[in-house]
Structure 1
Amino acid sequence: MPRPSQTLLSRAIIARAALDLLDEQGLEALKMRTIADRLGVKGASLYHHVRSKDDLLDAVAELINDEIDLGPLSDPGGPAGIAAYAHGYRGVYLRYPHMIPLVARHRVSSVKALRGYDALLAALVRAGSTPAAAAEAAAAIDNLVLGSALETFTAGFTRQPADYRPDFPALAAALTAADEAPGALAGLDTRGFDLGLRLILAGLTPSA
């Protein structure tokens, strides 16, 4: 007689279910019982793979970190590789914006995340930074990536650029010019990210 089928569980499967739940319903929905129901198992069975909600968040962060490509950081071209890495890093979090408030203040504990920071700092030093300057640049890149993935500057302005002109002429002029640039207003957030990244990389301290 065949054995009854059971849902196979693993840390990665639970983390994926949690990530899907966050993406669909936000942080308030992230409960162990809700994840268990989604997977068709009893809540207690999750604790064989994740010890607590904090451990669950670690598992979700591990899953996301697996999507961040560290390859560009080994590019001998230095700043070009760092820029490519930062764009990829931002692209991952643009897919998972609900995770940003969680990871922004969560401890960095996964091996993949630590390896990523180590690779970034090594690349910054190779590009000419001192270790102290590399730490500042890495913090700036982290803030720029996560901040730009969480917030959209453009979406805050819901009127046509010309509608702002009577009371806010500088804003109207800037938005009008931005709308005439390559990518128009829709591309302003990405262009702003590119500018911030260029400024950070241009400020790398040359080695003595």
Structure 2
Amino acid sequence: MPRPSQNILSTSAIARAALALVEEKGDFTIPGIARALKVNPSSLYHHLPGGRLEIIHRMREELYARIDVGALRDVTRSPEDRLRAWMGDVRAALATAPGVVIVLVSSPVQDALTLAIYEALFEILRDIGIPVDRRMAFAAMIDAVVLGSAVDAGSPVPLWQADPAENPELHAAAARDDDESRASTAFALAIDVTVAAVQAAAVSRRG
């Protein structure tokens, strides 16, 4: 039986192509995805009629597919443990394509998977004891830490090119610790600081 003349498209294939374009060029276009997949742009609209916005939704789903949302919502675990896991899981997902962060934050979140992941975060904040009128601010702060660390995961090693005469303190620190572990060590510290800040703001535990 002859092979089909065109690639078999799927929403996942389109999302992966978009992710690859963002990592290479900083953004994607529908004609660019079509060229990468060797199909007509109209074929993309057949699979994702919402165009660019729907492709971004599918990109999020592609990145977050391995996150175990059930584990993040498991109330037999302490909320602090779930917060640490949430931050680690989301950062790990985004760090596979750090260049995509700017594209993702430029569009509203509507896909079911990402909403479920963030529902888990708000449940964690509730269970730690953050008042409802402060949860959005804390969630945005946590998001900033995670998104920033995911972008940092794509930075070169070493990062700091400091002159010892002009920047002696930075040079001394970079000479010791500006290596492959810098980003992950910084993120582990950020998790500790974030959990401590959330605990300090808690007013009660849910019974």
Q: Whole-Å Cα distance in 1 between the matches of residues 44 and 191 of structure 2?
A: 41
2:117 aligned partner: 116
Deviations along 1:124-174, whole A, 9 cap, x unmatched?
211222223332221111101111111349743135xxx52x332332343
CA positional deviation for 1:196? 2.0
8 Å CA contact 2:158–2:179 kept in 1: the answer is no
* From 194, 202, 205, the counterpart of 1:206: 202
Which segments of 5 or more consecutive residues in structure 2 lack a partner in the other structure?
Answer: none
Of structures 1 and 2, the one scoring higher in RCO (CA 8 A, sep 6+) is 2
8 Å CA contact 1:12–1:63 kept in 2: the answer is yes
One-letter code aligned to 1:94: A
C-alpha RMSD of the superposition: 2.5
1:186 aligned partner: 180
CA positional deviation for 1:49? 1.3
2:41 aligned partner: 43
Q: Whole-Å Cα distance in 2 between the matches of residues 67 and 125 of structure 1?
A: 24
Between 1:111-120 and 1:61-70, the stretch displaced more is 61-70
Using a 3 Å threshold, how does the CA distance of structure 1 residues 156 and 67 change in structure 2: closer, same or farther? same
Matching of residues 157-176 of structure 1 within 5 Å? 157-159=160-162, 163-164=163-164, 166-176=165-175
8 Å CA contact 1:26–1:98 kept in 2: the answer is no
Secondary structure of 2:47's counterpart equals coil
Q: Whole-Å Cα distance in 2 between the matches of residues 127 and 15 of structure 1?
A: 35
8 Å CA contact 2:19–2:59 kept in 1: the answer is yes
In the alignment, does 2:83 pair up with 1:82? yes
1:20 aligned partner: 20
In the alignment, does 2:91 pair up with 1:97? no
The count of aligned residue pairs is 196
Using a 3 Å threshold, how does the CA distance of structure 1 residues 185 and 45 change in structure 2: closer, same or farther? closer
Using the aligned pairs only, state the percent identity: 27
Q: Whole-Å Cα distance in 2 between the matches of residues 156 and 31 of structure 1?
A: 30
8 Å CA contact 1:128–1:206 kept in 2: the answer is yes
In the alignment, does 2:60 pair up with 1:61? yes
CA positional deviation for 1:119? 0.6
One-letter code aligned to 1:170: E
CA positional deviation for 1:67? 3.1
Secondary structure of 2:67's counterpart equals coil
Using a 3 Å threshold, how does the CA distance of structure 1 residues 126 and 153 change in structure 2: closer, same or farther? farther
Q: Whole-Å Cα distance in 2 between the matches of residues 15 and 62 of structure 1?
A: 9
Which segments of 5 or more consecutive residues in structure 1 lack a partner in the other structure?
Answer: none
One-letter code aligned to 1:171: L
1:11 aligned partner: 11
Between 1:147-156 and 1:34-43, the stretch displaced more is 147-156
One-letter code aligned to 2:179: L
State the TM-score, normalizing by the size of structure 1: 0.81
